[in-house]
Amino acid sequence: MRKLLAVGVAVALFVVVSFAADGVKMSPAKMALLSKVSQKIAQWGHDPAIVAAVRAQNAKAVSVAELKKINAAWSAGGEEQLAISMLQGPCADRLHQFVSQGAFTEAFVMDERGANACMTNRTTYYWRGEMPKFQKAFDNGKGAVFIDEPKWDESAKARLVQVSVPVVDGGKAIGVLTVGVNADALGN
């Protein structure tokens, strides 16, 4: 357990940060809190229920062409049964427990190709294999913490930051966990 925690903390300390595209700035105090929160989220990437869901999704070995086809249907509001299956079960239950602990708005887990494995809310996309939140956090199986730029979310009426961390099994990244953090609620 101590070794597992040390790996999680080591991964958490290697943080890739990208801010400022939409001009929304965060104070140094909020950035420090966000860094601390990202370390907590990195530990979640070792949770047995999350690891099991990613292992199961990885075992399906779906091709990128098929993932793109599913993503197109998903993004158009289809694939309802698939979405429902990812909103239920041990992994989704664990994500709900995690996001109830603070300034979190959503969480979703992706496999080694960037496809959803489980989630707290239906996501806009099923597949994110070409997106920085997946690519930078998965880092070709090495794993890294990626904190995306804060963005105004009209539905939440808040600045949200997505923190992406590797899902780790046997010291290797096997997927990615992304958590939405309400930057305005940090420290409240």
Residues 148-157 have a mean pLDDT of 75
Domain ranges of the chain: 2-185
| Domain 2-185 homologous superfamily, CATH | PAS domain (3.30.450.20)
Residues 94-103 have a mean pLDDT of 89
- Which one has a higher pLDDT value, 155 or 33? 33
Give which of 167, 38, 45, 49 is closest to 112, Cα–Cα. Answer: 167
Residues 180-184 have a mean pLDDT of 85
Residues 166-172 have a mean pLDDT of 94
- Global pTM reads 0.84
Whether 150 and 163 have beta carbons less than 8 Å apart is answered as: no
Give which of 161, 129, 142, 164 is closest to 42, Cα–Cα. Answer: 164
Asked if the model's pLDDT at residue 10 lies above 90, the reply is no
In DSSP terms, 160 is beta-bridged to 151, 182
Q: What are phi and psi of 154, to 5 degrees?
A: -65, -40
pLDDT for residue 107: 92
Rounded-to-integer distance, Cα 161 and Cα 148, Å: 6
pLDDT band at 21 (very low <50, low <70, confident <90, very high): very low
